[in-house]
A = this chain, B = another copy of it.
Amino acid sequence: ADVKKIAVIAGDGIGPEVVGEALKVLKKTEELFGYQFETEHGLFGGIAIDEKGTPLPEETLEICKRADAVLLGAVGGPKWDNNSKELRPETGLLGIRKALGLFSNIRPATVFDCLKEASTLKPEVLEGTDLIVVRELTGGIYFGEKFRREGAGGEEAVDTCVYNVTEVERIVRQGFEIAQTRRKKLASVDKANVLETSRLWREVVNRLAPEYPDVEVEHVLVDNCAMQLLRRPASFDVIVTENMFGDILSDEAAMLTGSIGMLSSASLGEGSFGLYEPVHGSAPDIAGQGISNPIATILSVALMFRLTFGYAEAAQSIEDAVKAVLDAGHRTGDIAVDKSKAIGTEAMGDLIIAAM
């Protein structure tokens, strides 16, 4: 049988709880669909700092490298916030992206009907919003040279933003390809009126566009995009952009859906390998209480099924089960209107499994 290897990185805060429920869902798909999964667990983030003295132990990286996909919970927390750079969970996050070559971050901003009211946007503005931000994840100012030096104005800090055509081309192509499977609209976001990297970016987009004649391309300046996401969110289909802009815009887009606690994400490299994680953070304030919402992590498994394994049927069954449970009125505390009726993490996981 075709055994799929999944590296499981529970991480910090609510990470272990939500990943626990996702693993139950994974197990259920073995029963229902005859799949076989082999999981291997790795330490990562704050817990790895505590136990191994580094946020990304070599061993964890090895586990990921021999896997077909990675399921990540969440990392970070106040405990490690004042650590030096090498001993911070984020450094592990940047390190794993680079080490695994995960150059593309896919962030669907989906509006869940039952959560529409949770958005701060007017329902009529949100109506029809269904967009994906495709963010470049291993280049730009995140990974360029950084240093301090003495200058005329005293101590000086420097960050370098670098992109080469190869890096831009592969992420832009991914934007075009995803747009082709959807409403065929690509918004390429840059700051070409100021940045050289953006001018290179725009040249590449314009050069590739004729290869995707069915896709309508729009160049949007990043400041304008931050506005248009508020004004006409439903008009966007696929947004492709560089690392820093993508960080900001994908969070803005997620928040405007009102569904941020429910959103999954994928970070992809060449081939079918991918790392899957919920968009929300490690929520240390509610960790260990069994009240966190496992849905975003469970939906990350569905995304893994679609994008890495090609298990579309099982992915659909997970997504349908989530929808059915929500439609039946079940809510964890974060999305409950009546908090007194909120159910816990495990109860939510069990209901979803039962509905599959």
Contacts and interface: CB of A to CB of B under 8 A. Distances in A.
Interface of A: 88, 90, 94, 120-122, 125, 141-142, 144, 146-148, 151-167, 191, 193-197, 199-201, 222-224, 226-227, 230-231, 244-245, 247-252, 254-256, 260
Best-buried of A121, A156, A165, A260 by chain B (most CB within 10 Å): A156
A115 B165 CA distance: 45
B153 A167 contact: yes
Contact of A125 (B120, B144, B147): B120
A156 B164 contact: yes
B200 A157 contact: yes
Give this chain's copy count: 2
A251 B223 contact: yes
Contact of A222 (B120, B195, B248): B248
Given A148-B196, A191-B244, 15 more contacts: A120-B121, A120-B125, A120-B231, A121-B230, A141-B195, A153-B167, A157-B196, A157-B199, A158-B161, A159-B161, A159-B195, A160-B161, A222-B247, A223-B251, A227-B252
A153 B141 contact: no
Contact of A158 (B152, B196, B227, B256): B196
A165 B159 contact: no
Nearest to A146: B196
Contact of A147 (B121, B164, B196): B196
Interface of A is mostly: helix
B252 A193 contact: no
A90 B230 contact: no
A256 B121 CA distance: 10
Contact of A197 (B154, B157, B247): B157
A244 B223 CA distance: 9
Contacts of A260: 227
A335 to B, nearest CB: 14
A139 to B, nearest CB: 9
A27 to B, nearest CB: 34
A158 B195 CA distance: 8
Contact of A153 (B94, B165, B199, B249): B165
Given A94-B194, A120-B125, A164 B159 contact: no
A226 B197 contact: no
Contacts of A199: 157
Contacts of A156: 162-165, 200
A34 to B, nearest CB: 41
Contacts of A231: 120, 255
Given A90-B194, A120-B231, A194-B142, A226 B200 contact: no
A140 to B, nearest CB: 9
A96 to B, nearest CB: 14
A279 to B, nearest CB: 11
Contacts of A201: 157
Best-buried of A122, A125, A244 by chain B (most CB within 10 Å): A244
A196 B160 CA distance: 10
